[in-house]
Every structure is written in C-alpha cells, then in structure tokens.
Amino acid sequence: MRFIVRCKPGEYAERRERVAIVGAGPAGLYAAGYLRCRGFNVTVYDRNPEPGGFLIFGVLEIHINKERVRKGIEELRSIGVEFRQNTVVGRDILLGDLIEGYDAVLLATGTWKSRRLNVPGSDLKGVLPAMEWIVDYHMWRYGYRSEKPPVGRRVVVVGGGLTAVDAVHVAKWLGAEEVHLVYRRTRSYAPAGERGFREAEEAGAIIHELVTPVEYIGSGGKVTAVKLQKMQLVEQPGAKRPRPVPIPGEYVTLEADMVLEAIGLIPTPPFNGGDYGIRLREDGTIDVDEYKRTTREPVFAAGDVVHGASLIGPAMKSGLEAAEAIEKYLNGEIRWRNS
C-alpha cells in the first residue's frame, strides 16, 4: 500500500518548515507521504507500538494485506518521515508543545473509543467494547502483548457495522463455540451491508435481526444472558433508514458468557474539549473549514476525528486534502480562517 501519492520523492527541494502529525492511521500517513515528498520535515506522533492505526490494529487480515501496509510505512521512513510511536499526545507530550515547536500541526487521531449501551448489567464481567477487544487481539497477534484476549464459549455481538462483523470472525478464530450477532434493524439497513452479514454467517454466526439488548443478566458478577427487546421498523419521512422502535412487552433471552458491544465509535481528539481554542462539534468531531483548518492556528485536522467513523478511502482523501492545505498555508497562499 503506497502512502506517497501526487508527487515523487526527491522531486522537491528540502524545506525548513516542520510539520507534526498526530495519528499514524490512513489520514495521517497519506498526509505524511505528501508533505515529506514536497520537502517538509515531517514527524508523526502515535500512541501505538506500530504505525498504521486501524489499518494494522482494526481491519482484519482477511480484508487488508498488512504486509503491504507495513511496506508502505517503510517507504515513508525511507524518504525521511520520522515516527514517534508509543507517544500519547495529551499525556506524554502536550498538543501545546507541538503548536509551539512546529510550523503546522495535523490532528488525525480517529475514533479510538467505543460507544456503550449502558443498559443494566453493563458492568458485569464478560461485557466488553468490541473495538478495544479487536485492537487487543491484534496487539497479541503481532507480539505486542503476551496475553491472548479472553473469549467466551457463547458470545453475543451487538451491532451491524464493520466492527460487529469483524468481532464475529475474531471470536470464532479465538475458539468461541457459538457466536450470535444481534442487530436492531434488518441486515439490508446495516452499515456492514448484506455482504458483511453473509460473511459473518459463513463464519458461523447466528444472526438475530430487529432486536436490541435491554439488560445483561448475570450470576456471581459474570454475564450469563442477554435480554433482548424485539423491535419494528418505522419509516421516517426524509430519513435514509427507518427507525427501530420497541414492540411493547416482546422480549427474548439469549444465553451468553461474553457480550461484545459494537454500536459505534467516538472521536478522540488529543486534548480536552475546549482546550487550545479548538472547537469541537456536538458529536465530538473537530470543527474544520474547507481547508481542514481548526479554530486554532496552525492546527489542521483530518480523517475520522473530523467526519466520524468511516472507511479507509474517505480517511485517506481527507488526509491528502489537509496536506495540500498545509502546503498552501506554509507557502503563504492561504491565510488563517476568521472564526
């Protein structure tokens, strides 16, 4: 996978300006490739032991060739992109220090927190956020952690997106005997699409549509079952998908010794809301303008932390657009926004 696009290494003269990129996922990597290739000094800060973001620690090997991702990252290193791994911006180094020390900063920290259902019983042992569990799986798989993530005998995965169907595959690979995928709409409206659900079924999952957990039941502090509310779909004028609403009094219960919640991901900017004068939108994404400028000079932002959890393609495109804007800014072709 190549992260150097729209220019050839060595084609441009070395520049003295320094750019810090926070987050080594597809948005940060494509921006790094573009900017380094245009002669800028580029340093990428990332919390993980290896660059790649969800390309390495989220997306499964059955969907992406990790060796090609690693080769692309090696190519970035070979043209002089500097990677500072195991560095959490906001903890190990402050964003304020990057703003002081660099000519431009790009935030591309993605959505590294799972949304939770918070139904009664959510604190029972065995109820886990699916994305963090998949990241743990990859940390173990690539030798960064010695403990294999726990897996139940009967696993219930909650959700209809890519993380949900991937959790099904990982649960099976780790040895779960039975995996149930529960989704509140029908598969035709699922973000993972018919294909994702078909692949989950082929992996052995039992699919339950039009249900949502309302309670996790436990014994001795451990989850033993999931109480599911039956739902029906109600058309909403102007909306893309119908709304799932509960059918009063109709429930089913599924036995489970593990629950993986995959109901959405939350943007994770590397600072507390409101700090540095960087405005967040109501949904927690970073507010940027058409040049990916935040409300604080010289901080730009791109990728899922700007547009919410999405796909590799939109994250790459957003990173490239931000890199082009940073180049224009450092060339003096665009000024800072008025906000």
- The residues that touch ligand FAD, with contacts defined as CB under 6 A, are 22-28, 45-48, 53-55, 58-59, 63, 88-90, 108-110, 112, 131, 134, 162-163, 166, 268, 270, 303-304, 310-312, 315
Rounded to whole angstroms, the maximal C-alpha distance in the chain is 70
Residue linked to tokens 């703003």: 99
What six digits make up the tokens of 156?
Answer: 């219930």
Cβ at position 307, least distance to ligand FAD in Å:
8
Cβ at position 259, least distance to ligand FAD in Å:
17
- 196 vs 298, beta carbon nearer ligand FAD: 196
- What phi and psi, each to the nearest 5 degrees, are found at residue 23? 110, 120
- 98 vs 210, beta carbon nearer ligand FAD: 98
- 226 vs 265, beta carbon nearer ligand FAD: 265
Cβ at position 168, least distance to ligand FAD in Å:
11
Cβ at position 252, least distance to ligand FAD in Å:
27
Question: Using CA atoms, how far apart are residues 146 and 193, in angstroms rounded to an integer?
Answer: 34
- 64 vs 217, beta carbon nearer ligand FAD: 64
Question: Using CA atoms, how far apart are residues 234 and 269, in angstroms rounded to an integer?
Answer: 35
- 15 vs 84, beta carbon nearer ligand FAD: 84
- 293 vs 307, beta carbon nearer ligand FAD: 307
Q: Which residue is nearest to ligand FAD (CB)?
A: 25
Strands (E), the chain: 18-22, 41-45, 82-84, 104-107, 113-114, 127-129, 154-158, 178-183, 206-209, 211-219, 222-234, 243-255, 258-261, 265-266, 299-301
Whether 79 contacts 9, CB under 8 Å: yes
Cβ at position 278, least distance to ligand FAD in Å:
13
H helices of the chain, in order, are 26-37, 54-57, 66-78, 95-101, 130-141, 162-173, 193-202, 304-307, 312-330
Question: Using CA atoms, how far apart are residues 271 and 133, in angstroms rounded to an integer?
Answer: 24
Cβ at position 125, least distance to ligand FAD in Å:
23
Cβ at position 283, least distance to ligand FAD in Å:
15
- 28 vs 213, beta carbon nearer ligand FAD: 28
Residue linked to tokens 């005998």: 153
Question: Using CA atoms, how far apart are residues 263 and 21, in angstroms rounded to an integer?
Answer: 29
